[in-house]
Amino acid sequence: MGRVLAVIIWILTLGSVALFVSKKWWFPPAISEHAPALDRQFMLTIVIVGIAFTAAQLGLGWAVWKFRDTADKSRATYTHGSNKLEVLWTIVTAAIFISLAVMGQSVWASLRLNNAPAGSFQVEVVAQQFSWNFHYAGKDKLFGRTDPSLIDDSALNFIGLDETDANAKDDAVTSALAIPVNRPVELILRSKDVIHSFWVPPLRFKQDLVPGMAIRVHFTANKVGKYELACAELCGQLHFKMKSYMLVLPEDEHRALTQLSQEAFQAKMKELLDKYPLPPNE
């Protein structure tokens, strides 16, 4: 029985490693400037923990095999273990994990803690149960005033835009996100109710939206196309319906779109969403 268990442990271990090595289920191709650095970091982490996992599980199988029940009825010996070894592997593990965290932190922080580059295209994102609102500043590049007391979902004023504000005249609010290619984009993320999470897997970008906060993040998408955008936070019963699309458009097509006022913007957006197909593997 001990031998069978050992072999099962080894098969399970090698089988799970094979799933990763084969890359049968893997990330979609990346579409952002920071993605290669993030993917490298991910790869480094998974290789290191993969080696540790494999070694530990093969060792477990070896122990199960070696110390299995046999005809030998002699008493087992008690050992307290080795303090030296315990200190050693704790230090080695801590050093590896702290180094990985420090290395990964630089990419993460560069998109969140630094200001967005000058000339970034700004979009205000307002999440709610269970939809996305993207607020564009329009021709004047100034966002119209918003006020929570003006929020009226039945009148389709999901973000409480003050229509009497001059800056709001050319603003547009849509349920899908349109950004320019190869130009930094700054999102200002807010939530009306609970915590949501903005997630576009090919962008390698995920960020929570927290009620009461305006979280600024930035990134640069470098491949034109249509991509799925999901809420990655279980935010309520209809969480599964909280999905939309992100369009990454050529600069001129994007400029033409953002010059349009609300109704024309909506119509054009619909047209563009039909024009661009999803990447084949999605």
Q: Least distance from C-beta 130 to Cu ion, angstroms?
A: 6
Q: Least distance from C-beta 154 to Cu ion, angstroms?
A: 21
Residue 9 makes contact with Cu ion by CB under 5 A: no
Out of 185, 200, 203, 242, point to the residue binding Cu ion (CB under 5 A).
242
CB closer to Cu ion, 196 vs 204 = 196
- CB neighbours of 146 closer than 8 A, spacing ≥ 6? 124, 135, 159, 160, 161, 162
- CB neighbours of 173 closer than 8 A, spacing ≥ 6? 133, 134, 135, 136, 158, 159, 161, 262
**Token pair listed for 62:** 């070896």
Q: Least distance from C-beta 188 to Cu ion, angstroms?
A: 17
- CB neighbours of 30 closer than 8 A, spacing ≥ 6? 36, 39, 202, 203, 204
CB closer to Cu ion, 33 vs 208 = 208
CB closer to Cu ion, 135 vs 254 = 135
Residue 235 makes contact with Cu ion by CB under 5 A: yes
CA separation for the pair 135, 152 (Å, rounded): 15
Interacting residues with Cu ion between 186 and 225 (CB under 5 A): 196
Q: Least distance from C-beta 191 to Cu ion, angstroms?
A: 8
Radius of gyration of the chain (CA): 26
Q: Is 167 helix (H, G, I), strand (E, B) or coil?
A: helix
- CB neighbours of 184 closer than 8 A, spacing ≥ 6? 116, 117, 119, 120, 121, 218, 219, 220
Question: Which amino acid is present at 138?
Answer: G
Q: Least distance from C-beta 125 to Cu ion, angstroms?
A: 12
**Stretch in the footprint of Cu ion (CB under 5 A) among 90-98, 107-115, 166-174, 230-238:** 230-238
Q: Least distance from C-beta 148 to Cu ion, angstroms?
A: 18
Question: Which neighbouring-strand residues pair with 179?
Answer: 248
Listed residue (225, 207, 226) closest to 215, CA to CA? 207
Going from the C-alpha of 246 to that of each of 51, 157, 203, the distances in angstroms are 37, 21, 10
Out of 231, 248, 260, 269, point to the residue binding Cu ion (CB under 5 A).
231
Strands of 196-200's sheet, edge to edge? 177-180, 243-249, 225-231, 196-200, 205-209
CB closer to Cu ion, 111 vs 229 = 229
- CB neighbours of 185 closer than 8 A, spacing ≥ 6? 116, 120, 121, 122, 123, 179, 218, 219, 220, 221
**Stretch in the footprint of Cu ion (CB under 5 A) among 71-79, 107-115, 175-183, 226-234:** 226-234
Residue 229 makes contact with Cu ion by CB under 5 A: no
Q: Least distance from C-beta 213 to Cu ion, angstroms?
A: 15
Q: Least distance from C-beta 235 to Cu ion, angstroms?
A: 3
Binding mask 61-90 for Cu ion (x = CB under 5 A): ------------------------------
**Stretch in the footprint of Cu ion (CB under 5 A) among 53-61, 94-102, 160-168, 236-244:** 236-244
CB closer to Cu ion, 6 vs 231 = 231
Binding site for Cu ion (CB under 5 A): 196, 231, 235, 242
